[in-house]
Amino acid sequence: MKDKFLDVKDEVAKAIANKQPVVALESTIISHGMPYPQNVDTALKVEQVVRDNGAVPATIAVIGGRLKAGLTEYEIEYFGKKGPEIKKASRRDLAAICARGEDGACTVTTTMMIAHMAHIKIFATGGIGGVHRGAETTMDISADLEELANTPVMVVCAGCKSILDIGLTLEYLETHGVPVIGMGTEDFPAFYTSKSGYKVDYRVDTPADLAKLYMTSRDMNLKGGILVGNPIPDEFSMDPGIINPAIDKAIAECNALGIKGKETTPFLLAKVKELTGGDSLDSNIQLVFNNAKVAAQTAVELSKLM
Task: Indicate which residue of 68, 87, 121, 161 is catalytic.
Answer: 161
Nearest to 56 by CA among 102, 26, 25: 25
Nearest to 190 by CA among 271, 130, 250, 138: 130
Q: Closest Cα partner for 228 from 281, 178, 156? A: 156
Give the span between the Cα atoms of 158 and 287, in whole angstroms: 7
Which is catalytic among the residues 26, 47, 77, 301?
26
Q: How far apart are CA 225 and CA 152, in angstroms?
A: 4
Nearest alpha carbon to residue 68 among 152, 14, 144, 12: 12
* Torsion 5-9-10-12 (CA) sign: negative
Residues 6+ apart with CB under 8 A from 224: 148, 149, 150, 151, 152, 176, 177, 178
Q: E-strand spans in 212-256?
A: 226-229
Q: What's the CA angle centered on 39, arms 160 and 228, to 5 degrees?
A: 25
How far apart CA 22 and CA 19 sit, in angstroms, is: 9
Known catalytic residue at 26: yes
Q: Is there a catalytic annotation at residue 161?
A: yes
Active-site amino acid positions: 26, 161
